[in-house]
Amino acid sequence: MSDDVMAQIRAHQKQGFGNVVGIEYVEVGPDRVVVTVPVEPHLHQPHGIVHGGVHCAIVEEVASVAGSVWLGGDGKVVGVNNSTDFLRAVTEGTLTATGTPVHRGRTQQLWRVEITDASGRTAAVGQVRLANLEPPAPREG
């Protein structure tokens, strides 16, 4: 992975939605992305457990970064479907999310993201389908 791509990810991490959630990148590569998220009260729903939307956001961010890194160059990806299943309630500790490819093709990708709790138990599993967006062709005239 180029230093430019990692610099872009780090810059976004400081100002984007991932910053609000608390996403920290542990490993970033074209075949695997790993992040951690400390569980804090602002991530809880009213019953004191991590909000399902937080899991969905983590899944989306991990898949999108992984897909972008794999696509490389000036191409971009956008999520077109996010399906996340919640398996275990988490109230504290650190979440770890690992994204791996299921399919990577010319126009779309499918990534699986598993989120585990501090004890390594699966808390949520998601899949994100990404559309590969190539940069627009230069306009003539």
Give the active site residues: 60
C-alpha dihedral, 116 to 93 to 28 to 45, nearest 10°? 80
**DSSP states of 40-76 as a string?**
-GGGB-TTSSB-HHHHHHHHHHHHHHHHHHHH-TT-E
* 118 burial type by CB count under 10 A (0-12 exposed, 13-18 middle, 19+ buried): middle
